[in-house]
Amino acid sequence: MSYFESRLGLNFEDLDRIYHVLKFCEELNINNLILEPLNNAKYFHEDLFHKISENTKIELFFRFNIKPKTIKEFKKEIKFYQKFPNIISLETQVKEIQLKAAKDSRVHLLSFSDPVNMKTITPGLISLAKQNGTFIEFSLAPIMIKNRALQSKNFRILYRFIQLILRMKPKFIISGNFDSLYDIRHPRNLCSVCHTLFGIPLEQAKNAFSKNVEMLLAKVKSKEGNKFIQPGVRLIKGDKLI
């Protein structure tokens, strides 16, 4: 079984830092990573993708996380990011945008990594995401903070969120999404945390770090398969760009 850390945010303008983090992950025997550029994706180029990938043994994938505050922003950002053959996730507290994104096939993933956002999820949204095959994500970083009072609050929010997810059974993935290098854990260990602390059946926890992530990546690849033969290379039919 291949395990994934599905969200690791990095500044793509600091390659030395990226290589340092990747080396640390190699030492943890993490084999699959999905990286998220924290800086503006307009400065992200596919040659950078290859350069980073060639400097690590880890299998790398990439995602872009959009945080629109209005429907207008959402339309603008999704139009820009859809040209990249990578995962597009959405993170927002605005329910109108959440509902629109759940119906938009260009959005692969609804992210609820922030406890504030977790409180906005509804059975209706989950049902809509499930109906349209949109994945849902939550992260464990909120329960790793040092402030014990806030940690306890985040735990309660995350617990209620997870129980709703388990009850309604949408496709979901779990990420660490850790800011601190030394909070990063092997996904296999995080499976145990999810099973022990949150009551997620062990097989479901494993799938959220492995099989479900593979399904998400396959979905992204299948949608872009008619346009991309490899990152940054589009197919051209006749004299027209497909």
Tell me what percent of the residues of the chain surpass a pLDDT of 90. Answer: 82
Q: Which residue has the higher pLDDT, 236 or 223?
A: 223
Contact between residue 206 and residue 191 where contact means Cβ atoms under 8 Å apart:
yes
Contact between residue 68 and residue 74 where contact means Cβ atoms under 8 Å apart:
yes
**CA torsion angle 133 135 136 138 (round to 10):** 160
* Lowest-pLDDT range of 42-56, 66-80, 220-234: 220-234
For the cut 60, the answer to whether the pLDDT of residue 126 exceeds it is yes
Note the pLDDT tens digit of each residue in 106-116: 999 999 999 99
Domains of the chain: 4-222 (3.20.20.140)
